[in-house]
Amino acid sequence: MTGPQCVLVVEADILVRQPLAEYLRECGFRVAEAVNAAEARALLEAGKLPIDLVLADAAADADAVFGFAQWMRRAQPGVDVVLAGNPLRAAEQAGEICNDGPALVKPYDHRLVLEHIKRLLARRR
């Protein structure tokens, strides 16, 4: 038996992270939270949560998040990555390292985030 799919939300601002995480939980996902790329990597390396997809804000610390996404590609190739933030800045880099291009912009539209996550995770089934 499989449980709900697990999304890791990486977002520095609690006032953005908490509402999005709660919305995704209400939609049936198991949601883990990290405030930055270092925390996200620590969570993934600990291997205690079966994370299926990472949604990371690339706006606050783009270099760290892109570095994290590149590490993900090498170390956790089975985990989908979605980057969000300023699409103009992120476009070139993110297009190469995330699963579906830099399609999410901030401020988040929760329903668009949900659709995006569902579309990506549906490919895994």
Partner 1 sequence: MLPAVRLEQITTAPSVLLVEDEVVVRALLAEELRGAGMQVTEAASADEAWAYLQAGGVADLLFSDVRMPGSMDGLALMRLVRRAFPAVKIVMTSGNIGPFDVGQFDGFLPKPFAFSKAVLIAAHLLGVEPPETP
Enumerate binding residues for partner 1 (CB under 8 A): 14-16, 18-19, 21-23, 25-26, 30, 32-35, 39, 42-43, 46, 48-49
Instruction: Tell me, letter by letter, the H, E, C secondary structure of 25-58.
Output: HHCCCEEEEECCHHHHHHHHHHCCCCEEEEEEEC
How far is the C-alpha of 112 from the C-alpha of 105, rounded, in Å? 10
User: Closest separation between CB of residue 80 and partner 1, Å?
Assistant: 19
Left (φ > 0), alpha (ψ -120 to 50) or beta: where does 83 sit?
beta
Closer residue to partner 1 in complex, CB, 49/91: 49
Closer residue to partner 1 in complex, CB, 5/93: 5
User: Closest separation between CB of residue 125 and partner 1, Å?
Assistant: 24
Closer residue to partner 1 in complex, CB, 46/122: 46
Tokens of residue 80, six digits = 């989908």
Query: Using the 8-state DSSP alphabet, how is residue 3 labeled?
Result: -
Query: DSSP 3-state assignment of 117?
Result: helix
User: Closest separation between CB of residue 37 and partner 1, Å?
Assistant: 11
User: Closest separation between CB of residue 51 and partner 1, Å?
Assistant: 10
Closer residue to partner 1 in complex, CB, 26/115: 26
